[in-house]
Amino acid sequence: MDLIEEGVDIAIRAGDPGDSRMISRYLAPHRICAFASPEYLRRRGTPQHPDELVGHECVNFRYQSTGQAARWPFRLGDKVLEIAPDAGITIDVSDAVAATLVASGGIGISATYIAAPFVERGELVPLMYELAHDLFPLTALWPESRRGNPNVKPSLRFSARFFLLQRLGINTSLRWRVRRSQPDNLHWALCVEPLLAALMRTESATCQP
């Protein structure tokens, strides 16, 4: 899609921004992590390493563009391990994958910004989050001709807040479980304040698109 030809004010692109005619602003990583529902984990146990996924019920994603099933990436040190799970369920819509996981259909991978609302509600649990892999960047793009457009600045601010708050939801949920025995004020200092500070820096940066 040619954003200039189509008259688009601003867009979000996953991967290489590509078009040198566009102004770009990095928003967030497209981070992939494994998730499952608390009920599934109570029944089947919680894997601590990708090798332990063998024997689990898996829900996979199929790319509509190629028809190929996704390989699951896990970052182990400076290397990325990719596995092809034996999935009983394969779906080509990412939101439907998340819904299936919430319904205790098994373990699956998802972008963290898609899973974050379910994690915040306690419907999904991140698995092996320390091994989550950033596939590529998410970038806001807009034509030079739209620099002064009143739609661009609020859209940038909203997008920056959206992706950062989704990451906040994943991180606070995960760290709360790890640090739940610690005082609330310490949990706040360790988990929330640094991300809110980052949010304020992001908002300040987006004031000048």
CATH code for position 81: 3.40.190.10
pLDDT of residue 137: 77
Average pLDDT, the chain: 75
pLDDT of residue 186: 35
In a domain, 24, yes or no: no
Structure token pair of residue 108:
């699956």
Please state the domain count of the chain.
1
Q: Is 157 exposed, middle or buried (0-12, 13-18, 19+ CB in 10 A)?
A: middle
In a domain, 203, yes or no: no
Task: Please report how the helices 112-120 and 152-178 are oriented relative to each other, as an axis angle in degrees rounded to 10.
Answer: 60
**Nearest CA-CA partner of 8 in 144, 143, 138, 208:** 143
pLDDT of residue 179: 40
Distance CA 189, CA 151 (A): 35
Range of the structural domain that residue 57 is part of: 31-135
In a domain, 40, yes or no: yes
Q: Is pLDDT above 80 for 111?
A: yes
In a domain, 163, yes or no: no
Amino acid identity, position 96: A
For residues 100 and 1, the model is more confident at 100
In a domain, 11, yes or no: no
Q: Residue 52 has what DSSP assignment? A: G
Tens of pLDDT, residue by residue over 43-86, are: 999 999 999 999 999 999 999 889 999 999 999 999 999 999 99
pLDDT band at 22 (very low <50, low <70, confident <90, very high): confident
In a domain, 192, yes or no: no
pLDDT of residue 38: 96
Q: What is the pTM of this model?
A: 0.66
**Nearest CA-CA partner of 73 in 64, 63, 84:** 84
Partners of 137 in the beta sheet?
29
Amino acid identity, position 86: D
- Of all residues in the chain, the percent with pLDDT exceeding 90 is 38
Amino acid identity, position 42: R
pLDDT band at 134 (very low <50, low <70, confident <90, very high): confident
pLDDT of residue 112: 86
